[in-house]
């Protein structure tokens, strides 16, 4: 709609009127003269009407603008939510009553908004580098803050003002928190060593011990408003809400300590494994995830809780050594299953971890013997030897040339493997740590045999998994399985020595992580022809290695009075071996409970960790930086060649571990 009219807007009518007057003058001059006067009068009246209407329209618009300004001011002053205006330096220029009611101050003019509300950054808002909507908490009330920037232009200078609207979001936030806190979580709780612990108690006490286990578990979770259902004699199903789970995480699942301290005459401590689902799953998905978490807890040796958090896991406990299982049923079942898998496969490829040690290569030789016993083609994938196994590989070349031909490179393995081939991973369960990770993509038939505590990374959907942290070594597991896979082991003296060397290196001459079955496996190998003198010869070092090791020990520094940290900075092909041996040697220092040695190899920093397993868990420490292993022997790799940076990362992990321990005490 037009606000102003002009005489030109009526031009067609004027032209028509003038033409009509001219025609009348031609036809009748008298009538034409009269029409001229009438036309002039009409033109005059119309012109005045247009001017008067325009004046009225302008006055109406001006009045409307005044009313709108008044309404706008009243609306702003009467806004039901807090408003504040600041300049570019966060100086408060104006605010309304709801805003000052948020604070105890009587006046806020000329105050600093950023000091008043810590989460607001005015320069960030003006530069548009911050979010348009800011979540703010003030005195336990939650607001969404919307911003509006105004340009103030004057003759002297240009400036900007910022108007902030505080929209109360407390009700929504409380509702969301309530929904989150009440979301159902499922946990599975298993007594690791139920049969062993009950059997270790006097017969008349056993019913009381079982009752105490039941009541301790039930009462503990019921304190967190959880529902506990006993599913088996050693298995419990727990349904709780997310708030209860967070409380349990804050207490770091102290029920693990409560059960371990339970004593009713049982000589074996009672330990639990707990698997917990993550947030946001339905009941079926949560149950399956809790089951997977429990498997991970058991695979890591038990006595711990594993909680799925998004795409990762959080671990609690895991400070005690894995309890040796004396039941050999599982070894027999796994041995039978592996025999069937070998029989069905076209050929078998065996891989250890990168920079394999005696346990990895010894276990690989044992698996190769199991494969050859089934009349199948088998190969050990090994790109190159290293100082840890040089003596063994040299002896293989000399004594077992036909066996040595079965050791192939990565390229050969990739060119010959088929979809129907079987891959056996030994002494490692992490795909990224294998000798050749890309080989795992070539077949879906993968077997995992390992004695390390299971970490976050694991082979996806293996056809067979045998991860037993209680075992001294992978060679112990392989030796045990071989006895069930065929009546005649067919082990050569060299193969028996190789398997024995794996047990010797991981048990440090049968002094660490040994159990009854460790010595049983050693006796099997001894009967097969293992010669301990020849085994010992495999570990002989040259003079340079001994000097390097002494240099590492000499440069050791002690932190927290009981942890030794050192580094091997020289470039040497056996740097990883030197680091591992030096870490072992540092434990011989009086008062040292754990040791860590850093070195560089293949462009990465390698860390060897050792402990007595009683006070400090090197596994839990090195897991924080992507490593793993056992309580008393673990390792890690950091993708850097800067030893100072790597040592800083290691010490931060140690500090975090010690802080967690202090918070649990």
Residue range 188-214, pLDDT digits in tens:
999 988 888 888 888 888 889 999 999
- Distance, in Å, from the CA atom of 174 to the CA atom of 177, rounded to the nearest integer, reads 5
Give SS3 for 290: helix
Q: What is the pLDDT of residue 326?
A: 44
Q: What is the pLDDT of residue 565?
A: 94
Q: What is the pLDDT of residue 316?
A: 86
- Greatest mean pLDDT among 118-127, 263-272, 489-498 lies in 489-498
Burial of 156 (0-12, 13-18, 19+ CB in 10 A): exposed
Going by their DSSP bridges, the two strands 422-426 and 446-450 should be labelled as: parallel
- Tokens for 290? 């809790």
For 584, other C-beta atoms within 10 Å of its C-beta total 17
pLDDT band at 63 (very low <50, low <70, confident <90, very high): low
Q: What is the pLDDT of residue 138?
A: 85
For 540, other C-beta atoms within 10 Å of its C-beta total 8
Cβ atoms of 408 and 525 closer than 8 Å = no
For 299, other C-beta atoms within 10 Å of its C-beta total 22
Cβ atoms of 447 and 413 closer than 8 Å = no
For 366, other C-beta atoms within 10 Å of its C-beta total 28
- Greatest mean pLDDT among 73-87, 121-135, 623-637 lies in 623-637
What's the Cα-to-Cα distance from 471 to each of 131, 475, 528, rounded to whole Å? Answer: 55, 9, 21
What's the Cα-to-Cα distance from 41 to each of 44, 45, 50, 108, 202, rounded to whole Å? Answer: 5, 6, 14, 68, 129
Q: What is the pLDDT of residue 454?
A: 79
Higher-confidence position of 308 and 566: 566
Contacts of 612 (CB under 8 A, 6+ apart): 587, 593, 594, 632
Q: What pTM was estimated for this model as a whole? A: 0.61
- Distance, in Å, from the CA atom of 276 to the CA atom of 186, rounded to the nearest integer, reads 6
| Cα torsion 558, 656, 659, 303: sign | negative
Residue 406 in this model has a pLDDT that exceeds 90: yes
Residue 156 in this model has a pLDDT that exceeds 60: no
- Distance, in Å, from the CA atom of 201 to the CA atom of 192, rounded to the nearest integer, reads 16
- C-alpha dihedral, 61 to 67 to 72 to 78, nearest 10°: -170
Mean pLDDT of 22-29: 79
What's the Cα-to-Cα distance from 174 to each of 142, 145, 171, 179, 240, rounded to whole Å? Answer: 9, 17, 5, 9, 20
Contacts of 131 (CB under 8 A, 6+ apart): none
- Distance, in Å, from the CA atom of 372 to the CA atom of 659, rounded to the nearest integer, reads 51
Going by their DSSP bridges, the two strands 158-168 and 235-241 should be labelled as: unpaired
Give SS3 for 573: coil
Cα maximum dimension of the chain: 149
Higher-confidence position of 318 and 412: 412
Residue 286 in this model has a pLDDT that exceeds 80: yes
Closest to 632 (Cα-Cα) out of 607, 608, 650, 612: 612
pLDDT band at 61 (very low <50, low <70, confident <90, very high): low
- Run of H or E including 581: helix 575-586
Which residues carry a binding-site annotation? 353, 357, 359, 427, 451, 506
- Run of H or E including 143: strand 141-153
- Distance, in Å, from the CA atom of 20 to the CA atom of 189, rounded to the nearest integer, reads 107
Mean pLDDT of 539-567: 89
Contacts of 420 (CB under 8 A, 6+ apart): 345, 346, 443, 445
Phi, psi values for residue 462, rounded to 5°: -70, 150
Residue 70 in this model has a pLDDT that exceeds 60: no
Which residues carry a binding-site annotation for Mn(2+)? 353, 357, 359, 427, 451, 506
- Distance, in Å, from the CA atom of 451 to the CA atom of 460, rounded to the nearest integer, reads 18
Per-residue model confidence as pLDDT tens digits over 501-522:
999 988 888 887 788 889 999 9
Q: What is the pLDDT of residue 489?
A: 86
Q: What is the pLDDT of residue 9?
A: 65
Q: What is the pLDDT of residue 1?
A: 46
DSSP type of residue 264: S
pLDDT band at 218 (very low <50, low <70, confident <90, very high): very high
Q: Compute the C-alpha angle 599/601/603, nearest 5°.
A: 115
Give SS3 for 280: coil
- Distance, in Å, from the CA atom of 53 to the CA atom of 50, rounded to the nearest integer, reads 5
Q: What is the pLDDT of residue 4?
A: 60
Q: What is the pLDDT of residue 566?
A: 94
Residue 27 in this model has a pLDDT that exceeds 70: yes
> How many CA within 13 A on the CB side of residue 500?
27
Mean pLDDT of 165-173: 89
pLDDT, the chain, mean: 85
Higher-confidence position of 461 and 392: 392
- Greatest mean pLDDT among 71-85, 231-245, 623-637 lies in 231-245
- Distance, in Å, from the CA atom of 273 to the CA atom of 13, rounded to the nearest integer, reads 99
- Tokens for 161? 């003002």
Closest to 277 (Cα-Cα) out of 248, 254, 257, 320: 248
pLDDT band at 237 (very low <50, low <70, confident <90, very high): very high
Task: Tell me the residue length of the chain.
Answer: 665
Cβ atoms of 277 and 320 closer than 8 Å = no
């Amino acid at each position: 709609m037009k606000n102003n009219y002009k005489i030109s807007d009526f031009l067609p009518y004027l032209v028509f009127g003038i033409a009509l007057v001219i025609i009348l003058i031609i036809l009748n001059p008298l009538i034409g003269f009269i029409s001229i006067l009438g036309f002039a009068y009409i033109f005059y009246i119309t012109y005045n009407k247009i001017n008067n209407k325009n004046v009225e329209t302008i006055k109406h618009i001006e009045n409307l603008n005044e009313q709108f300004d008044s309404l706008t001011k009243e609306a702003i002053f009467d806004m039901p939510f807090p408003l504040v205006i600041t300049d570019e330096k966060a100086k408060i220029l104006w605010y309304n009553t709801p805003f000052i009611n948020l604070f105890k101050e009587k006046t806020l003019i000329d105050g600093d908004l950023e000091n008043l509300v810590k989460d607001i950054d005015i320069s960030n808002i003006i530069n548009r580098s911050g979010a348009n909507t800011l979540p703010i908490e003030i005195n336990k009330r939650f607001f969404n803050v919307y911003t509006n920037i105004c340009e103030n232009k004057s003759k002297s200078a240009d400036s900007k003002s910022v108007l902030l609207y505080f929209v109360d979001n407390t009700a929504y936030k409380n509702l969301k928190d309530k929904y989150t806190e009440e979301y159902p979580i499922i946990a599975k709780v298993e007594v690791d060593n139920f049969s062993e612990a009950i059997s270790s108690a006097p017969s008349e006490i056993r019913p009381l011990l079982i009752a105490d286990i039941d009541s301790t578990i039930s009462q503990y979770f019921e304190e967190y408003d959880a529902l506990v259902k006993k599913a088996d004699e050693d298995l419990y199903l727990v349904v709780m809400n997310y708030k209860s789970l967070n409380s349990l995480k804050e207490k770091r699942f102290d029920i693990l300590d409560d059960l371990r301290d339970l004593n009713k005459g049982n000589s074996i401590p009672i330990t639990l494994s707990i698997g917990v689902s993550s947030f946001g799953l339905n009941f079926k998905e949560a149950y399956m995830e809790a089951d997977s978490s429990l498997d991970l807890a058991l695979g890591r040796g038990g006595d711990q809780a594993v909680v799925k958090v998004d795409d990762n896991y959080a671990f609690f406990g895991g400070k005690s050594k894995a309890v040796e299982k004396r039941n050999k049923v599982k070894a027999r079942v796994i041995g039978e299953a592996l025999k069937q898998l070998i029989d069905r496969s076209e050929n078998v490829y065996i891989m250890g971890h990168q920079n394999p040690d005696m346990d990895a290569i010894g276990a690989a030789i044992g698996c190769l013997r199991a494969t050859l016993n089934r009349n199948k083609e088998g190969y050990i994938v090994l790109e190159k030897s290293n100082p840890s196994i040089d003596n063994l590989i040299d002896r293989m070349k000399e004594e077992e040339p036909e066996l040595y031909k079965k050791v192939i490179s990565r390229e050969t393995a990739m060119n010959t493997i088929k979809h129907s081939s079987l891959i056996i991973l030994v002494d490692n369960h992490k795909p990224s740590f294998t000798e050749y990770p890309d080989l795992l993509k070539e077949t879906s038939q993968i077997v995992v045999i390992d004695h390390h505590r299971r970490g976050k990374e694991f082979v996806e959907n293996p056809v067979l998994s045998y991860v037993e942290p209680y075992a001294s070594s992978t060679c112990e597991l392989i030796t045990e399985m071989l006895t069930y896979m065929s009546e005649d082991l067919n082990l050569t003296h060299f193969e028996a020595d190789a398997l024995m060397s794996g047990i010797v290196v991981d048990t440090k001459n049968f002094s660490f992580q040994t159990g009854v079955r460790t010595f049983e496996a050693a006796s099997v190998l001894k009967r097969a022809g293992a010669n301990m003198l020849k085994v010992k010869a495999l570990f002989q070092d040259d003079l340079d290695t001994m000097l390097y090791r002494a240099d590492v020990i000499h440069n050791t520094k002690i932190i927290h009075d009981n942890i030794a940290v050192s580094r091997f900075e020289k470039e040497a092909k056996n740097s990883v071996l030197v680091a591992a041996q030096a870490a072992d040697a540092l434990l011989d220092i009086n008062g040292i409970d754990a040791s860590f040695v850093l070195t560089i190899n293949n462009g990465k920093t390698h860390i060897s960790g050792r402990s007595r397993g009683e006070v400090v868990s090197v596994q839990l420490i090195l897991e924080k930086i992507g490593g793993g292993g056992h309580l008393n022997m673990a390792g890690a790799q950091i993708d850097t060649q800067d030893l100072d940076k790597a040592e800083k990362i290691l010490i931060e992990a140690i500090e975090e571990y010690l802080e967690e321990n202090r918070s649990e005490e």
